[in-house]
Structure 1
């Protein structure tokens, strides 16, 4: 048992580091005035990209578990998912505070008029019930079937995030294309795996 716990603990520490270190890095660069000509915009973009990367990693844990069978992956998945949610909340707060200066009239105006803002907001809102129900006691109270159905919303949220990034991009589409490809591959894997287990 102790042999199994060692790698799992190390993996969870790696997950903790992956969620925490970018915050320290961003805080350092902000303090050093090293985020470019428009640091507020850089902060908004970087928090969003880190959150999106962690969200995709959260979804990728299921196929990784299917392929490897290592339970440590699934043990750490909730931790990664909560980090993704935290970073995406930071992305939204950075946008509202650093770019919109908490001017709720303009925030509401952008939500109504800019499609990429609407996609981003809806994608984040869909993650709220997933974060609230990610704890073991809530999962047990809901039942496995209902919990799994609810948490499939993560695929919808990821697709909305990819759409948000695509519309927001103006020139270099390499990152949006990569994100779309990863989201499509993860959804395809989920559908194929579900069909295979129904047989």
Structure 2
């Protein structure tokens, strides 16, 4: 298998991994297997899926640095946009299935509840990253400016993990995993930058 074929296969694998949760969610909804409060289950599922994909997006750069395989970089934009899609779905599910599009109440929740503010801020920071994900935009901005802008993904991920942590009431295993993964990725980035400068 040549490199181009391997990259194409990997991109298809990434696509399948990002789309499959939607199929599972539709299946569970159709057969009524989402529990007593299906709307809440959808909100939680979309949020966890989006945050997971966001961390995987960040992890693709260290994976490339360690292995040198360009397939990780070729698929990074793809999985990053899917992470954005799932997090937008999470926000819409919260507004529609949990808040029933009650805009005065939604506005009040955003103002009064810290975890909502963290979540909104995390998603807002991803908007410019999604809008500048095209290669021609990267060229127009210049690589240095584009690169600095896309470092906001770390801030967004930290806000997202904080949002999830505050929401958790009993089992902190998954939030702890998210914290550990994000911490590891940040440490890797700092160490790699220091070694690169030397």
Corresponding residue of 2:148: 149
Q: CA RMSD in A?
A: 0.8
Structure 2 counterpart SS, 1:170: coil
Q: Which residue of 2 aligns with 1:158?
A: 157
1:8 equivalent in alignment to 2:7: yes
TM-score, normalised on structure 2? 0.99
- Equivalences for residues 99-138 of structure 1 within 5 A: 99-138=98-137
Secondary structure of 1:33's aligned partner = coil
Aligned to 1:186: 185
Cα distance in 2 between the residues matched to 1:67 and 1:142: 28
For 1:167, the equivalent position in structure 2 comes to: 166
Q: Which runs of 4+ in 1 moved over 6 A?
A: none
Structure 1 stretch displaced more, 57-66 or 27-36: 27-36
Whole-angstrom distance in 2 between the partners of 1:46 and 1:196: 38
Query: Helix, strand or coil for the counterpart of 1:134?
Result: coil
Query: Partners of 1:67 and 1:19 in 2: how far apart?
Result: 24
Q: How many residue pairs are counted as aligned between the two chains? A: 198
TM-score (norm 1): 0.98
1:63-121 CA deviation, whole Å, 9 max, x = no partner?
00000000011000000000000000000000000000000111111101111000000
In the TM superposition, what whole-angstrom CA distance separates every residue of 1:107-137 from its partner, at most 9, and x where no partner exists? 1111011110000000000000000001100
Q: Which residue of 1 aligns with 2:21?
A: 22
**Cross-structure match for 2:75:** 76
Give the gaps of 5 or more residues in structure 2.
none
